[in-house]
Amino acid sequence: MFARLVTGLAVLSAYVALHLLISVGLGEGAGPSAIVALWFGVAALVLLWPALWLRRRRLSGAAELVALVSRFVPPQGRWRRALRLANSLGLILLGGGTYAVTMSEQQGHKMPLEQQLLLLLGGLASLAVGLLILRRTRPYAARSAARTLRLDGRKPVLYLRSFGDDETAAEVDDGGEVNLHTREEQLAAALGAVGPVIAVGRPGEPLPQLGASRFYLPPDDWKPTVLRLMEMSQLIVLRLGQGDGLWWEIEQARTTQPAAKLILLAPGGSFDLAARLNEHLPTPMTSDGLGMGEHWISAVIVFDDLWTPGVFPVGLRRKGMLGWGWRVLAVETSTSHVALAMKSALASVGRRRRTMIWRSRSATNAAVFAGFGIAAALALAGWLGYRVLQLTGLW
Strands 235-239, 213-215: pairing kind: unpaired
Any idea which architecture 144-364 has in CATH? 3-Layer(aba) Sandwich (3.40)
62-95 burial, b at 16+ Cβ within 10 Å, e below that, comes to: beebbebbeebbeeeeeeeeebeebbbbbbbbbb
Q: What was the pLDDT predicted at 324?
A: 31
pLDDT band at 26 (very low <50, low <70, confident <90, very high): very low
- pLDDT, average across residues 285-297: 66
pTM: 0.79
Is the pLDDT reported for residue 222 higher than 80? yes
Look at the alpha carbons of 62, 68, 74, 76 in this order and tell me if their dihedral is positive or negative: positive
**Sequence spans of domains, the chain:** 1-60, 82-143+365-395, 144-364
Dist. CA 50–CA 30, nearest whole Å: 30
The whole-number average pLDDT for the span 320-344 is: 57
How do strand 262-266 and strand 299-303 relate by DSSP bridges?
antiparallel
Better-predicted residue by pLDDT, 102 or 8: 102
Helix (H, G, I), strand (E, B) or coil at 187: helix
Which pLDDT tens digit goes with each residue over 80-92?
A: 778 888 999 999 9
pLDDT of 320 reads 36
State yes or no: pLDDT of 259 exceeds 70. yes
Asked if the model's pLDDT at residue 363 lies above 80, the reply is: yes
- For the segment 247-262, the average pLDDT, to the nearest whole number, is 93
Dist CA 340 CA 139 (whole Å): 27
Per-residue pLDDT, averaged over 322-339, amounts to: 50
Calpha distance 151→221 (Å, rounded): 28
Mean pLDDT of 203-224: 91
pLDDT tens profile 111-159 = 788 888 888 899 899 989 999 999 889 999 898 999 899 888 889 999 9
**pLDDT range class, residue 292, cuts 50, 70, 90:** low
pLDDT of 331: 33
CA 50 to chain centre: 26
Task: Say if CB 155 and CB 67 are below 8 A apart.
Answer: no
CA distance linking residue 230 with residue 168, whole number of Å: 25
Main-chain phi, psi angles of 210, to 5 degrees: -75, 135
> What does the DSSP assignment read for 302-370?
EE-TT--EEEEETTEEEEEETTTEEEEEE----HHHHHHHHHHHHHHTT---TTHHHHHHHHTTHHHHH
Q: What's residue 29's pLDDT? A: 45
Q: How confident is the model at residue 27 (pLDDT cuts 50, 70, 90)?
A: very low
Q: Which long-range contacts (CB under 8 A, 24 or more apart) does 9-13 make?
A: 9/43, 9/47, 9/51, 10/43, 10/44, 10/47, 10/48, 10/51, 11/44, 13/40, 13/41, 13/43, 13/44, 13/47
Q: How is residue 213 annotated by DSSP?
A: E
> Helix crossing, 223-232 with 63-70: angle to 10°?
160
Task: Give a three-class secondary structure readout of 72-121.
Answer: CCCCCCCHHHHHHHHHHHHHHHHHHHHHHHHHHHHHHHHCCHHHHHHHHH
Q: Comparing 48-57, 121-130, 206-215, 386-395, which segment has the lowest mean pLDDT?
A: 48-57
Pairing between β-strand 197-200 and β-strand 157-160 as defined by DSSP bridges = parallel
Would the pLDDT of 365 be above 90? no
> Average pLDDT for residues 312-320, to the nearest whole number?
62
Q: Among residues of the chain, what percentage have pLDDT more than 70?
A: 73
Q: Are strands 309-313 and 299-303 parallel, antiparallel or unpaired?
A: antiparallel
Task: Indicate the range of 53-57, 150-154, 201-205, 233-237 predicted with least confidence.
Answer: 53-57
Percent of the chain with pLDDT over 90: 27
pLDDT at 102: 84
Query: DSSP secondary-structure letter at 172?
Result: B
Closest CA to 260 of 279, 234, 226, 231: 234
Q: What angle do CA 362, 301, 286 make, to 5 degrees?
A: 140
pLDDT value of position 357: 85
Maximum Cα interatomic distance, the chain, rounded to a whole number of Å: 79
Determine the residue type at 106. Answer: Q
Count how many Cα atoms sit within 13 Å of the Cα of residue 136 in the half-sphere of its side chain. 12
* Most confident segment among 67-76, 230-239, 261-270, 292-301: 230-239
pLDDT at 326 (0 to 100): 30
Query: Is the confidence at residue 19, as pLDDT, over 70?
Result: no
* pLDDT band at residue 256 under the 50/70/90 scheme: very high
pLDDT of residue 79: 76
pLDDT given at position 110 = 78
Integer CA distances (angstroms), 263 to 157, 182, 202, 237, 301, in order: 11, 21, 22, 5, 6
Q: DSSP for 288-301?
A: TTS--SS-S--EEE
Other CB atoms within a 10 A radius of the CB of residue 161 amount to 22
